[in-house]
Amino acid sequence: MRDLSQKSVLITGASRGIGAETARAFAAAGARVALLARSREAIADLAGEIGDQALAIPCDVSRYWEVAAAVDATVDAFGGLDIVVNNAGVIDPIAPLVTSDPADWAKVMEINVNGVYHGMRAAMPVMLEAGGGTILTVSSGAATHALEGWSHYCASKAAVAMLTRCADLEGRSGGLRAIGLSPGTVATDMQVQIKASGLNPVSRLTASDHIPPDWPAKALVWLATAEADDLIGTEVSLRDPAIRRRIGLIP
């Protein structure tokens, strides 16, 4: 077990799926975790499960002032902010470009792109003033591969990959570690929406094709440590067997 005792971590989209498993994984490594999501009851339940080292903060990442207030609350509660995990993201509604709803398309951008920017913008000054920190962002293979019905998701993940590169370019000299994680297909509620759409090859995958959500969670904990310093500024693919072995997910 990697030791992150005395580290404080802020996780967006922490109410379920990868976010909830990431909160459990960081807490198991000894970190204090701030759980952000719009679902008040879900993050309150998760904080109760984790215990005193968890703080539930209702937050809509598409609103910068809410994210900034969450960063302030985390610093006040834990005495600092060492790690941010930008995990919040949506894919629904899946639709071809020609029938997509402009308002729905824009809402996905507000969450998937603006939400990541807000996390970086609110956390980076705190981290740079403290001499460094880690910003981990959940990306996707959709950042580089177009898929039918996913114009909103592909475009948003491509933007997120570039945000990671920009954060690295501007922050590395100040001790900032910015890394993206592309986990592949993960067995979460999002796969139910994808399956129901029937629009591209991902919708035709079976349950056995997806990795469990604790795999990307363990990967994010690993990326937060010095073991991953050679990967700073990059997009790390969890589909890569060499990466899986380094993390300890496979022999």
Catalytic positions: 153
Is there a contact between 78 and 32 (Cβ–Cβ < 8 Å)?
yes
Considering only CA atoms, which of 13, 10, 59 is closest in space to residue 33?
Answer: 10
Task: Report the alpha-carbon distance of residue 79 to residue 145 in Å, rounded.
Answer: 41
CB-based burial, 133-146: b 16+ in 10 Å, e otherwise? bbbbbbbbbbbeee
Task: Report the alpha-carbon distance of residue 21 to residue 219 in Å, rounded.
Answer: 11
Task: Report the alpha-carbon distance of residue 71 to residue 69 in Å, rounded.
Answer: 5
Q: Please state, in angstroms and as integers, the Cα–Cα distance from residue 115 to each residue in 96, 161, 201, 202, 216, following that order.
A: 24, 13, 28, 25, 20
> 166 Cβ partners below 8 Å, 6+ apart?
none
Q: And the tokens for 65?
A: 């002032």
